[in-house]
Amino acid sequence: MRDWPEKKLGFGLMRLPKLADGNFDMEQVCQMADAFLANGFTYFDTAFVYEGSEEAFRKAVVERHPRESFTIASKLAGWRLKEGFGPEEMLAETMSRMGVDYIDYYLLHSLQESHGTIYEDYGCWEFINRKKEEGVLKHIGFSFHGSPEYLEQLLQLHPEVEFVQLQINYADWDNASICSRRNYEICEKYGKSVIVMEPVKGGLLANVIPEARKVFDEADPNASSASFALRYAASLPAVKVVLSGMSLMSQMEDNLNIFADFKPLSDTEKEIVNRAANVILSSKTVPCTSCRYCVDGCPMGIVIPRVFTFYNMLQSFGEHVRPHSLYKELVEGGAGRAADCIQCGQCEGVCPQHISIIEKLQDASAVLDV
Ligand code: SF4
Ligand code: SF4
């Protein structure tokens, strides 16, 4: 498939900067989008379920830049079809929010075994094929959080799929639940292009624990930790775009520098990254990416990703970063405590990182609920 951007960085619109009142900081979003486009980058990524993101994209990009200067990816959320939308209505809503009359890259969102046959039940595969024939969708694919066996099955059943979006980063490469390596190798086997999501694992690999940072310092003390993670993902030959969910202009500037004159990791740098990965994987931190998929369904109101953030802060940096005070503020604001977990299992069923949340909350409770 042609039509991939020349430069591999994609602007993920899932974590846009916000103001104190909770609204998007549109001034900063516009500045970030302008800098991205001015430096020759083109690929933006959003989704029906990224609240307010499709509208923010319209305001920052569609209404301010020529249509041919950018490409946009968005996603059809199968699990929201139960709420009375058909796929046609969901796509129409996405296009209306974004103010576009075609979509460059359209994905079925988050395929995994636990979503069952929802995309088949609602005729989504036939739907995206038809919309591609009509020219409304230029390229079709899916994002994936399941097992290698399921991925292979899907690619055999749907040879029309042009690309797959996978979670790939050096910490998850050989992870037995995420299976970055095996899923990537299946895409290569079937000749599919790969889009990378979570290359810095929701920010965890941008702020690595001090022991891992020491390893990176040996290679280049001036290179950010995020740069090693992004270059790792972008060095894989089938990878066409690496998404970075940027929240700050400083992150945008760092990423633009990394990808302006992209250099794949050398063999020495790969060895450095592998060593850092081993250090991170042997630490006690919880690999939560703060996607928040688990939050709304918790009957005890536990803001699980925040609890894990404070737990990780404590593990990595100790007391001086104030994890106990921040946790206290969270609980005093009305959130449930880690100790309130009733082990209903709702959260573990929806966690794309396959974290043993109940067990990890017990670890967190032991040090935070004191
Ligand atoms: S298992 Fe615990 S944390 Fe998870 S949803 Fe249930 S009560 Fe909340
Ligand atoms: S679903 Fe998993 S990765 Fe996402 S916020 Fe919850 S614990 Fe973290």
Q: Cα dihedral angle (336, 340, 343, 344), rounded to 10 degrees?
A: -50
The yes-or-no verdict on residue 1 having pLDDT over 70 is no
> Residues 306-325: what's their mean pLDDT?
84
Is the CB–ligand 1 distance for residue 304 below 6 Å?
yes
307 lines ligand 1 (CB under 6 A): no
pLDDT beyond 90 at 284: no
pLDDT category, 283, cuts 50, 70, 90? confident
User: Taking residues 159-181, what's their average pLDDT?
Assistant: 92
Is the C-alpha dihedral spanning 41, 42, 47, 53 positive or negative? positive
Q: What is the DSSP letter of 11?
A: E
**Residue 305 near ligand 2, beta carbon < 6 Å:** yes
Q: What pLDDT is recorded for position 255? A: 95
Q: Whose CA is nearest to atom 4 of ligand 1?
A: 347
Output the six-digit token pair for 91: 């796509």
* pLDDT (tens digit per residue) in 79-113: 899 877 899 999 999 999 999 999 999 999 999 98
| Proportion of the chain above pLDDT 90, given as a percent | 81
Question: If you average pLDDT over residues 257-263, what whole number do you get?
Answer: 91
Whether 355 lines ligand 2, by a CB cut-off of 6 Å, is yes
Residue 323: Cβ-neighbour burial (10 angstroms; 0-12, 13-18, 19+): buried
Quote the CA–CA distance of 194 and 205 in Å, as a whole number: 20
pLDDT tens for 65-78 read: 999 999 999 999 99
Is pLDDT at 147 greater than 70 in this prediction?
Answer: yes
Tens digits of residue pLDDT in 18-47: 999 999 999 999 999 999 999 999 999 999
Percent of the chain whose predicted confidence (pLDDT) is above 70: 99
Distance from Cα 351 to the centre of ligand 2, integer Å: 5
Q: Is the CB of 245 under 6 A from ligand 2?
A: no
pLDDT at 162: 97
Q: How far does CA 120 lie from the centroid of its chain?
A: 24
Indicate where the chain has its CATH 3.20.20.100 domain(s): 9-281
**Tens of pLDDT along 216-231?**
999 899 999 999 999 9
Residue in this structure with the two tokens 């989008």, named with its chain if needed? 33
Would the CB of 312 count as within 6 Å of ligand 2? no
Per-residue confidence (pLDDT) for residue 2, from 0 to 100: 59
Question: Per residue in 231-248, pLDDT tens?
Answer: 999 999 999 999 999 999
Query: Which fold, 9-281?
Result: TIM Barrel (3.20.20)
Cα 46 to Cα 195: distance, rounded to the nearest angstrom: 13
Best of 289, 306, 309, 341 to mutate for ligand 2, by most ligand atoms within 8 A of CB?
289
Task: Please check whether residue 141 is in contact with residue 164, taking contact to mean a CB–CB distance below 8 angstroms.
Answer: yes
Query: What is the per-residue pLDDT for 207?
Result: 85
* Mean pLDDT for the stretch of residues 123-133: 98
What is the average pLDDT score of the chain? 93
Q: Which residue has the tokens 């390893």?
A: 215
Of the ligands numbered here, which is closest to the C-alpha atom of 353? 2
Query: Which of 340, 347, 362 best tests ligand 1's pocket when mutated (most atoms within 8 Å of CB)?
Result: 347
Spatial distance between the Cα atoms of 361 and 304, rounded to a whole number of angstroms: 8
Token pair of 23 as six digits: 């609204």
Question: Contact 97/64 with Cβ under 8 angstroms?
Answer: no
Segment 200-223 mean pLDDT: 90
Question: What is the rounded radius of gyration, in angstroms, for the C-alpha atoms of the chain?
Answer: 20
Those residues whose C-beta lies under 8 Å from the C-beta of residue 284, and which sit 6 or more positions away, are: 315, 363
The Å distance, Cα 289 to ligand 2 centre, comes to 6
In order of 112, 132, 216, 243, 293, the CA distances from 246 in angstroms are: 26, 30, 22, 9, 19
Tokens 């996603």 locate to: 75
Does 8 have pLDDT greater than 80? yes
How big is the CA angle at 15 (ends 10 and 19), to the nearest 5 degrees?
130
For ligand 2, say whether the CB of 357 is within 6 Å of any of its atoms: yes
Which segments of the chain does DSSP mark as H helices, in order? 26-38, 53-57, 87-98, 118-121, 124-134, 148-157, 180-189, 210-219, 225-234, 249-260, 267-281, 304-317, 323-332, 346-350, 357-368
